[in-house]
Amino acid sequence: MREINVTEITAAVRQACIDANCNMPQDVLNAVEKFKKVEESPIALEVFDKIQQNAKLARDKQVAICQDTGVVVIFAEIGQDVHIVGGNFMDAINEGVRQGYKDGYLRFSVVRDPMDRVNTEDNTPAVVHTSLVEGDKIKLTVAPKGFGSENMSAMKMFTPAATREDIVSFVAECVEKAGSLPCPPIIVGVGLGGTSEMAAVLAKKACVSPLDAPAKNEFYEGLQQEMLERINALGIGPQGFGGTVTCLGVKILSYPTHIAGLPCFVNIGCNVTRHCEVIL
């Protein structure tokens, strides 16, 4: 049994909040450079240049890459041989968010209740998804999620009779309806299977999965590519100005489901799709 003090968790989350908001993920930067080479619109190419310039300025000056510093979403994979000591895990997470957003001069975007709309003034609480895994480490994926893209989330409870074309068309329709609102070129996460809430979590996790990571098999690799091509054929383009590239990547995560259902959730990330990984 390995002990991890909550102060280590707080310190890691604090720094990850700053890093995620100021440093564009390398996989996203690589995708921007890759797709810039195939973009045909002169205006869209200017947008790609601005995205790269903005990313460099944010990194060099350590300022927020976007004014919407988001709700902090954390995927916490906790090794079953870890013993967390010195306090409460969730308190440690939220203290790290509090410190990171204050010390990093990041905008406070969280309200304490969806109806009274009073700002918590420290960007807490975070939205945390925890899972127990093998080992004696804690892996934290910290992903601040802005709501220009989050508001474009969509779900459909398909029946088992749904075809591949039905699902591809639904994902493309979600992007078409979103238009320029999620700040394209976007990243699309798709969750398939499980239950309604499982599909939503899968889609969010897919959205911040490494773009250069392979799909779990050839079928899903092909499905991701088909969705990507269908989305880019929409012609929305960077920031909605039209162009060849609307999407930098589609990632799909799936889970076993009921014989009577086929849940599908779409989560859209902006051209930054911030995320940062820490292992303790």
The predicted-structure confidence for 24-64, as pLDDT tens digits, reads as follows 999 999 999 999 999 999 999 999 999 999 999 999 999 99
3-state secondary structure labels for all residues of 209-271: CCCCCCCCCHHHHHHHHHHHHHHHCCCCCHHHCCCCCCEEEEEEEEEEECCCCEEEEEEEECC
C-alpha 219/C-alpha 163 separation (Å) is: 14
Predicted confidence at residue 251, as pLDDT, reads 98
Taking the model in full, what pTM does it have? 0.95
Where b means 16+ CB within 10 Å and e means fewer, 99-125 reads bbbeebebeebbeeeeeeeeeeebbbb
* Residue 232 in tokens: 């880019």
* Residue 162 in tokens: 């749904």
Predicted confidence at residue 47, as pLDDT, reads 97
The predicted-structure confidence for 57-94, as pLDDT tens digits, reads as follows 999 999 999 999 999 999 999 999 999 999 999 999 99
| Average pLDDT score over the chain | 97
Predicted confidence at residue 162, as pLDDT, reads 97
The predicted-structure confidence for 127-164, as pLDDT tens digits, reads as follows 999 999 999 999 999 999 999 999 999 999 999 999 99
Predicted confidence at residue 33, as pLDDT, reads 96
Predicted confidence at residue 141, as pLDDT, reads 98
Q: State the pLDDT confidence band at 187, using cuts at 50, 70 and 90.
A: very high
| Number of C-beta neighbours around residue 182 at 10 A | 26
| Number of C-beta neighbours around residue 170 at 10 A | 18
The CATH number of the domain covering residues in 147-273 = 3.30.1330
Predicted confidence at residue 38, as pLDDT, reads 95
Predicted confidence at residue 252, as pLDDT, reads 98
Overall average pLDDT of the 216-230 stretch: 97
Predicted confidence at residue 210, as pLDDT, reads 93
Overall average pLDDT of the 164-184 stretch: 98
What are the structural domain ranges in the chain? 2-22+65-144, 147-273
Whether the CB-CB separation of 224 and 235 falls below 8 Å is answered with no
